[in-house]
Amino acid sequence: MYAYFARRVLIAIPTIILISIFVFALQKLLPGDPLLVLAGEERDPEVLEFLREKYRLNDPIPMQYLAWIGNALQGDLGISLRSNQPVTELMAEKLPVTIQLAVMSMIFAMVIGIPAGILSAVKKGTATDYVANVVALSGLSIPNFWLGIMLILLVSVKWQLLPASGYVPLSVDFGQSIHTMLMPSFVLGTALAATLMRHTRSSMLGVLSADYVRTARAKGLSERVVILKHSFRNALTPIVTLTALLFGELIAGAVLTEQIFTIPGFGKLVVDAVFNRDYAVVQGIVLVTAVGFIFMNLFADMMYFVLNPRLRGQ
Amino acid sequence: MKTIKTALFTALMGATALAAGPTFAKDLRIALQSDADVLDPDQSRTFVGRIVYASMCDKLVDITPDLEIIPQLATGWETSADGKSIRMSLREGVVFHDGTPFNAEAVAANIERSQTLDESRRKSELKSITSTEVTGEHEIVLNLAGPDATLIAQLADRAGMMVSPTAAAAAGADFGLNPVCSGAFKFEERVAQDKIVLTKFDDYWNADAIHFDSVTFLPIPDTTVRLANLQSGDIDMLERLAATDIPQAQSDSNLVVDSAVSFGYQGITFNINNGDKGDNPWGNDKRLRQALSYAIDRNALNQVVFEGAYAPGNQSFPPNSPWYNSSLPVESIDLEKAKALLAEAGYPDGLDLEVQVPNSTEPLAVMQVVQAMAAQAGINIKLTSKEFATLLADQSAGDYTASQIGWSGRVDPDGNNHPFVTTDGGINDSKFSDAKMDELLNGARVAPTTEERKGLYDEAMTLMLDELPRLFLYHVTWIWAYNDNMKGFTPYPDGMIRLENVTWEE
Cα separation, A311 vs B17, whole angstroms: 54
Test the B interface: residue of A28, A44, A146 with most B CBs within 10 Å: A44
* pLDDT value at residue A314: 55
Burial class (CB in 10 A: 0-12, 13-18, 19+), A59: middle
Nearest CB to A93 within list B8, B123, B191: B191
Residue of chain A whose Cα is closest to the Cα of B222: A260
For the complex shown, is ipTM > 0.90? no
Contact A55, A283 (CB under 8 A): no
Tell me if A32 and B176 make a contact (CB, 8 A cut-off).
no
Tell me if A264 and B124 make a contact (CB, 8 A cut-off).
no
User: Phi and psi dihedrals of B202, rounded to 5?
Assistant: -65, -30
Cα separation, B501 vs A223, whole angstroms: 72
Test the A interface: residue of B35, B42, B43, B225 with most A CBs within 10 Å: B225
Contact B440, B453 (CB under 8 A): no
Contacts of A149 in chain B (CB under 8 A): 222, 224-225, 228
pTM over 0.90: no
Tell me if B119 and A47 make a contact (CB, 8 A cut-off).
yes
- Closest-CA distance, A306 to chain B, in angstroms, reads 26
Give DSSP secondary structure letters for B176-236: GGS----SSEEEEEEETTTEEEEEE-TT-TTGGG---SEEEEEE---HHHHHHHHHTTS-S
Contacts of B122 in chain A (CB under 8 A): none
Per-residue model confidence as pLDDT tens digits over A20-49? 898 888 877 777 777 777 777 778 888 888
User: Whose CA is closest to A33, among B38, B43, B388, B402?
Assistant: B388
Contacts of A84 in chain B (CB under 8 A): 38, 43, 173-174, 176-177
Mean pLDDT by 10 residues, chain B (506 residues): 44 42 70 93 92 98 95 97 96 97 98 94 93 97 96 96 98 94 97 93 96 96 90 95 93 96 97 96 97 97 95 96 95 94 96 94 94 97 90 92 94 95 94 97 94 97 97 97 97 96 93
Residue of chain A whose Cα is closest to the Cα of B359: A275
Please report, as a single letter, which amino acid is at residue B424. D
Test the B interface: residue of A41, A85, A155, A173 with most B CBs within 10 Å: A41
Instruction: Give the single-character DSSP code of B125.
Output: G
Contact B260, B478 (CB under 8 A): yes
* pLDDT value at residue B7: 47
Q: How confident is the model at residue A313 (pLDDT cuts 50, 70, 90)?
A: low
Nearest CB to A31 within list B194, B234, B393: B393
Per-residue model confidence as pLDDT tens digits over A234-293? 888 788 778 777 877 787 788 889 988 989 998 888 888 887 778 889 888 888 888 888
SS3 content of chain B, % helix, strand, coil (to 5): 35, 25, 40
Tell me if A259 and B177 make a contact (CB, 8 A cut-off).
no
* pLDDT value at residue A312: 66
CATH 1.10.3720.10 fits A95-312, yes or no: yes
* pLDDT value at residue B351: 95
User: Phi and psi dihedrals of B459, rounded to 5?
Assistant: -65, -40
Cα separation, A50 vs B474, whole angstroms: 35
Per-residue model confidence as pLDDT tens digits over A160-182? 889 888 888 998 899 999 999 99
Cα separation, B499 vs B490, whole angstroms: 9
Test the A interface: residue of B18, B232, B266, B483 with most A CBs within 10 Å: B232
- Closest-CA distance, A39 to chain B, in angstroms, reads 7
Tell me if A90 and B225 make a contact (CB, 8 A cut-off).
no
Contacts of A262 in chain B (CB under 8 A): 218-222, 225
Per-residue model confidence as pLDDT tens digits over A186-230? 999 988 898 889 899 999 998 888 898 889 889 888 888 888 888
Cα separation, A123 vs A112, whole angstroms: 17
The better pLDDT of the pair A53, B376 is held by: B376
- Closest-CA distance, B382 to chain A, in angstroms, reads 21
Burial class (CB in 10 A: 0-12, 13-18, 19+), B322: exposed
Per-residue model confidence as pLDDT tens digits over A103-113? 999 999 999 99
Residue A127 has pLDDT above 70, yes or no: yes
Tell me if B8 and A47 make a contact (CB, 8 A cut-off).
no
Nearest CB to B427 within list A43, A152, A157: A43
Tell me if B194 and A167 make a contact (CB, 8 A cut-off).
yes
* pLDDT value at residue B370: 97
Residue of chain B whose Cα is closest to the Cα of A29: B390
Buried b (16+ CB within 10 A) or exposed e, A139-175: beebebeebbbebbbebbbeebbbbbbbbbbeeeeee
Going by C-beta distance under 8 Å and a sequence separation of 6 or more, which residues neighbour residue B407?
A41, B264, B265, B316, B416, B420
Half-sphere exposure of A188 (CA within 13 A, CB side): 33
* pLDDT value at residue B493: 96
* pLDDT value at residue B25: 62
Tell me if A156 and B390 make a contact (CB, 8 A cut-off).
no
Test the B interface: residue of A84, A91, A112, A181 with most B CBs within 10 Å: A84
Tell me if B192 and A175 make a contact (CB, 8 A cut-off).
no
Q: What is each CA distance from A139 to A142, A162, A194, A257, B380, in whole angstroms?
A: 6, 21, 6, 15, 44
Nearest CB to A164 within list B177, B225, B427: B225
Ordered by start, the domain boundaries in chain A are 2-73, 95-312
Nearest CB to B231 within list A32, A44, A157: A157
Nearest CB to B193 within list A43, A111, A264: A264
What is the torsional sign of CA B201, B207, B212, B213?
Answer: positive
The better pLDDT of the pair B141, A3 is held by: B141
Tell me if A84 and B11 make a contact (CB, 8 A cut-off).
no
Residue A4 has pLDDT above 80, yes or no: no
